[in-house]
Structures are given as C-alpha cells and as structure tokens.
C-alpha cells in the first residue's frame, strides 16, 4: 500500500498579484503501477502553462498504457517515445486552436518517477527542481536527482530544447526508499541547502505526510507553500508531489 498526492500554488508578480500557474503535476496509480510527474513551465514561454500540464498528464497515461513493455533495457526508448508523442499532441493542439505556436512556446522542465511493479522503478529529470528519495528512519537520504542550471543560476534546461535527449537524466530506482518528494524550483529554495535536503523543511513535511490522511496533507502543505514566509524565499509557482510506501 502507498500514499500519494501533490499540490501546486501560483506565484505572485512584483505587484503581489497572483500569476498564471505555469507548474503542472500528475499522479496516477493502477494496481502495482504508479507514476508521478512534475513540470515547471518556462516563464519566458507563451504557452508553458499548457506544456507543463500536457507533459505531466499525457506522459503518465502513456506510461500506464505501455507498462507491459517496460524493462531496464528499453526504458530509454519508451520514455523518448512518450515525450515525442506529447510533442506531436501539443503541435496538433496548436493547429486546432490556431495558436501559431512552436514547440518552444510550451517549454517546461520535467521530473518523473515510474513504478511498474515491486522489481522495476525508474526516474527521469531535465532542468531544475529536484526528486528526493528518503528512508523513514530519520528521513535518511537514499538518492537525490539535483537541479541542473545553465551558465547562470536563473537558467535551466527544458524538455523542448533541441538537445533535450542529451540533457534528460534517466536512472534506475534500485535502492531502498520509503518516501519520494518531487518539487519545482519554487520549492527547492526551501527544501535544499547546498543541493542537499534541508531537514528543517523536509522532516516536518515527511512526518506530517506519514501521520495524516491525504486530504489533510494537501491542505496543510498548500498552506505552507502559500505562507508569507515562503513568499519571502520565492514568489515563484510552487509544486510538490509525494509518494510514501506503507
């Protein structure tokens, strides 16, 4: 059995007005299969709020429909196929609704975790944000997929970049963990310190998730991400999704 969920809150502009939330996330579970995807649309891209939602939702559904084909040997091919299928979907959407958009107009980062069964799990990541894997015992770190920025701290890489295959990091989840937290860069400013989990933020979140029902968790974490204290750290959109083994 597992608990899972997520929440996303919009950021604020310089006049303290809510912005369009350019983050997107989707969690999907069916029998042993589980998929969690978190995206952060590029602020400079016209339709990134559409791209982040499309990649998170459509990739998860594609992986569910393809789960009987997954293995460590062909995971790269299937993940590439799912991404390229989403490219085609977005361009078709642009044509139908006459957006006159290129694929770069849907620019977004991408973080994902796929559990096919108890013996096969994989992760993938391009851009900033982070995926953190922990054990229940003292929230000990098992693995972290760290943010990757460009030449400057406020630059990163997107799944819509021409060289996305070179920047997409794929990894086997063949290590022990009970807790997974995936987050956009609006949250990493609070959750990471020197690119390592900051226990002052992580531990209370983990303890609350482990001891409360899903609906209460979502409400509490939404309040944390929307708090005035969090806005002092970052006024960006903030998204975090979670998966806990029981």
Residue 152, pLDDT score? 61
Q: Domain residues for 198?
A: 2-7+20-245
Q: Are 241 and 38 in contact (CB under 8 A)?
A: yes
Residue 132, pLDDT score? 98
Residue 151, pLDDT score? 65
Q: What is the CATH number of the domain that holds 225?
A: 3.60.40.10
Residue 215, pLDDT score? 80
State the 10-residue block means of pLDDT for the chain, 246 residues long.
90 88 97 97 95 98 96 96 98 97 98 96 98 89 93 82 97 96 96 94 90 86 93 93 91
User: Which region, left, alpha or beta, applies to residue 155 given φ > 0 means left and ψ of -120 to 50 means alpha?
Assistant: beta
Q: Is residue 102 part of a domain?
A: yes
Residue 16, pLDDT score? 81
* Segment (H or E) for 241: strand 238-245
Q: Is residue 152 part of a domain?
A: yes
Residue 2, pLDDT score? 80
pTM for the structure as a whole: 0.95
Domain count for the chain = 1
Q: Is residue 14 part of a domain?
A: no
Q: Is residue 15 part of a domain?
A: no
Residues 7, 223: Cα–Cα separation, whole Å: 10
Q: Is residue 12 part of a domain?
A: no
């Amino acid at each position: 059995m597992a608990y899972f969920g997520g929440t996303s809150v919009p950021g604020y502009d310089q006049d303290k007005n809510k912005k369009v939330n350019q983050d997107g996330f989707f969690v999907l579970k069916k029998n042993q299969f589980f998929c969690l995807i978190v995206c952060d649309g590029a602020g400079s891209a016209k339709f990134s709020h559409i791209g982040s939602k499309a990649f998170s939702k459509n990739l998860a559904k594609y992986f569910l429909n393809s789960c009987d084909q997954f293995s460590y040997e062909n995971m790269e091919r299937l993940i590439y196929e799912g991404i390229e299928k989403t490219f085609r979907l977005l361009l078709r959407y642009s044509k139908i609704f006459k957006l006159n958009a290129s694929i770069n107009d849907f620019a977004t980062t991408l973080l994902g975790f796929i559990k096919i069964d108890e013996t096969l799990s994989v992760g993938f990541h391009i851009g900033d944000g982070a995926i953190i894997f922990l054990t229940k015992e003292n929230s000990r770190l098992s693995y972290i997929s760290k943010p990757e920025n460009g030449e400057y701290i406020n630059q990163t890489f997107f799944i819509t970049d021409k060289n996305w295959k070179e920047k997409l990091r794929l990894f086997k989840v063949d290590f022990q963990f009970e807790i997974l937290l995936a987050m956009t860069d609006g949250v990493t400013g609070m959750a990471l310190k020197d690119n390592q989990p900051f226990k002052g933020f992580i531990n209370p979140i983990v303890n609350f998730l482990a001891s409360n029902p899903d609906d209460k968790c979502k409400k509490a974490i939404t309040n944390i991400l929307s708090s005035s204290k969090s806005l002092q750290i970052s006024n960006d959109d903030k998204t975090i999704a979670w998966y806990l083994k029981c």
